[in-house]
Structure 1
Amino acid sequence: MDAFYASVAELDNPELRGKAIAVGGGGDRGVVSAASYEARKFGVKSAMSNVLAKKKCPHLIFVKSDFARYKELSAKIREIFYEYTDLVEPLSLDEAYLDVTENKKGNPSANDIAREIRQRIYDETGLRASAGISINKFIAKVASDINKPNGQKTVHPEEVIKFLEELPVNKFYGVGKVTAAKMYNLGIFVGNDLKKKSLEELVTLFGKSGTHYYNIVRGIHNSAVKPNRIRKSLAAERTFSENISSEIFMIEKLDKIADELERRMLKNDTKGKTITLKIKYSDFTQQTRSKTKTYFMQKKKDFFPVVKELLFQDKLVNSVRLLGISFGNLNTEIKEPVWVQLKFDF
């Protein structure tokens, strides 16, 4: 979807159309969740602090998030997807992979299917979408950004290698700013530069990711579209209106965050073995502390003592602006066999 959260705000408030808007609380403590394309022209983007966003775009309009509305529209959009294929892998509320190799419409053209789906989305929700079409998920994902907003890009099989060789490395899905900067220092600017590096060189330079880079620049990405994605973590966090420097106050805040996390764990029927405490300091540096138990936890009474232990595990280096608790190593990842002793009558 194109600037989904911001577009939903414009859909529900037509007077916002064509204006620079940011989704998220407008206070100085908050961050931008999403920005309209008009705001992006000024350099406003998601995860940016509200203070910096306002400096970049003084006329920026802030609107509050409405996740109930996002979920409602996302469900409608997915219903459209399922009219074409059952192989739908949602990545988030506003993005998904579809495998249309064999589709319910019997249409041999993935390009035509994408165009038809985008039109259906607009006709039925009033929202615009973009699409990438190619031979695997990686290339389709990269292609989906090429003609945004409200466009699509098809990379045919015979075009894949040339497309990847000419693609700037910072456009490769999964290559962030830090990795891109490292590649630039190594003289790697486009896919063809990356392709000149041997597998051994890339593994030495980038570890396990080196094998991934070696394959994708050659168009190799064999991950199937997985309709039922397995949740690997569950979290709750909160940003505070004022920085906190006392562990006592932090315990009070964490107590409420733990209540929310327990509610989410119960709602999703999820349990976890690894508990992680996330601490973001006033200077925006971040720290995580984790502990793994031998048994699954779900209830606050079981995991909150671990949270307190993690808080006092080490001294705080600054005042704190955000705290979060997350569960990993969930029971959704591995379904362990249950052994039952059979009883026999003798």
Structure 2
Amino acid sequence: MTIRRIIHVDMDAFYASVEQRDNPQLRGKPVAVGHGAARGVVAAASYEARAFGIHSAMASVTAMRKCPSLIFVPPRFEVYKAVSAQIREIFAEHTTLIEPLSLDEAYLDVTENLQGIPLATDVANAIRAKIKAVTGLNSSAGISYNKFLAKMASGYRKPNNFFVIPPGKGAEFVSALPIEKFHGVGPATAARMHALGITTGADLAALSLEETTARFGRSAEYWFNLSRGIDHREVKPNRERKSIGAEDTFSIDVSSFDEANPLVAPLIAKVWLHCEVRELWPRTVTLKVKFANFEQITRSKSNPSHLTERRQFELIVSDLLAKQFPPRLPIRLLGVTASGFQPEAASAAEQLAFSV
């Protein structure tokens, strides 16, 4: 089998770095891209802001408490998209196998790269150098033989750096990796694994496939392989996003709508931010509810037309949530998902036709 050479390129604090690039007065200062209003959310944070514990999807009021000198800058998505297009053009000079994950990161398969560069590390650094020359922005890269390890490697020495995990070293790297660092492990999954005594990749790899299946069901093979540095997923160009979701497990179970409603607000903000950035306008909204006994239900509503305003999205989530109270058992987790997407142009045409 041919050993694949995969690069994961990730821009460093992309939105905030663009703002600092374009406004010298922001350089070296804690900057958050987003709206500082009471219901606002941080879309991105500069590294100076991250030093205060500020991160994307954090509520603006929380961010201001952590750093009173934080400077909020309204997002300029058209500018970020234009810069992202420049970066994609640089990727395309090296390979046709490009799988964008967002405006600021992508997987590249350079096993057969267009410039015939023998080493994937050299390809990655050529890309990073040209991104810097063309856009003035820094990026980091992870290089490995599969997507999971490339993703892990790109964040290993951020910012403005690269890291390589070669064949034969994948299992060793994963064995020392805290389970929270695994791409795809959120707080709820991490807590569940910790309860089982699994805190590192080595702990997970110690389980047989049968034991992993008993604990994780349908996800067992995925975790079994990752713990051994195995990931067979291919880099897929034109990757279509089917849904965008967020969920949270609460430290204390909730039993009333008044308790639950504020807790779902940051989930709405996070999901809608991703929809807005990608110009993906949903028609279907789904609420996920997990009870204290770990049973879960989902409730969905599909709108006649695609949603282009956050307020529409909020009202549907609130309606779905209100119908779950009083619950038959206390609730330990809530999740919000948007799906049934329509691009902006088609959505505008749809609205025009509807209004006529």
Cα deviation, residue 316, structure 1: 7.3
Question: Aligned residue for 1:206?
Answer: 216
Q: Shift of the alpha carbon at 1:32?
A: 0.8
Instruction: Tell me the residue number matched to 2:33.
Output: 23
- 1:236-255 correspondence to structure 2 within 5 Å: none
Matched ranges for 1:64-79 at <5 A: 64-79=74-89
Percent of aligned pairs sharing the same letter: 51
Distance of 1:309 and 1:91 partners within structure 2? 26
1:276 aligns with 2:285: yes
**Letter of the structure 1 residue corresponding to residue 340 of structure 2:** G
The aligned runs of 1:166-185 (5 Å cut-off) are 166-185=176-195
> What one-letter code is carried by the residue in structure 2 that aligns with 1:207?
G
Q: Shift of the alpha carbon at 1:233?
A: 3.8
- The question of whether the paired residues in 2 share the 8 Å contact of 1:277 and 1:310 is answered with no
Residue aligning to 2:109: 99
Match of 2:92 among 58, 82, 85: 82
- How far did 1:230 drift? 1.9
Q: Is the 8 A contact 1:276 1:288 kept in 2?
A: no
- State the AA in 2 paired with 1:140: A
Moved over 6 A (4+): 307-310
CA distance in 1, matches of 2:316, 2:117: 57
Stretches of structure 1 lacking an aligned partner (at least 5 in a row): 236-244, 246-259, 280-286, 319-323, 331-346
AA matched with 2:111: T
State the shift of 1:298 in Å: 5.6
Aligned ranges 1:1-346 → 2 under 5 Å: 1-233=11-243, 275-276=284-285, 289-291=299-301, 311=319, 315=323, 326-328=338-340
The one-letter code of the counterpart of 1:71 is K
Give, in whole Å, the separation in 1 of the partners of 2:320 and 2:17.
43
CA distance in 2, matches of 1:167, 1:59: 35
Contact 1:21 1:62 in 2 (8 A): yes
Equivalent residue number for residue 256 of structure 1: none
The 3-state SS of whatever aligns with 2:139 is coil
Structure of greater Rg: 1
Per-residue CA shift, 1:220-272, capped at 9, x if unaligned? 2111111111231489xxxxxxxxx9xxxxxxxxxxxxxx9xxx9xx98x997
**How far did 1:328 drift?**
3.1
> Superposition RMSD on alpha carbons, in Å?
3.3
Contact conserved, 1:290 with 1:310, CA < 8 A, in 2?
no
For each residue in 1:71-107, what CA deviation from the matched residue of structure 2 results, as whole angstroms up to 9, or x when unmatched? 0000000000000000000000001000000011101
User: For the Cα contact (< 8 Å) 1:129–1:150, is it kept in 2?
Assistant: yes
**How far apart, in 2, do the equivalents of 1:168 and 1:212 lie?**
17
TM-score, length-scaled by structure 2: 0.71
Cα distance, 1:34 vs structure 2: 0.8
Q: Tell me the matched-pair count.
A: 280
| Higher-RCO chain (CA-CA 8 Å, sequence separation at least 6) | 2
Q: In structure 1, what is the Cα distance between the partners aligned to 2:317 and 2:75?
A: 34
Change in Cα spacing, 1:299 to 1:25, as seen in structure 2 (3 Å) is closer
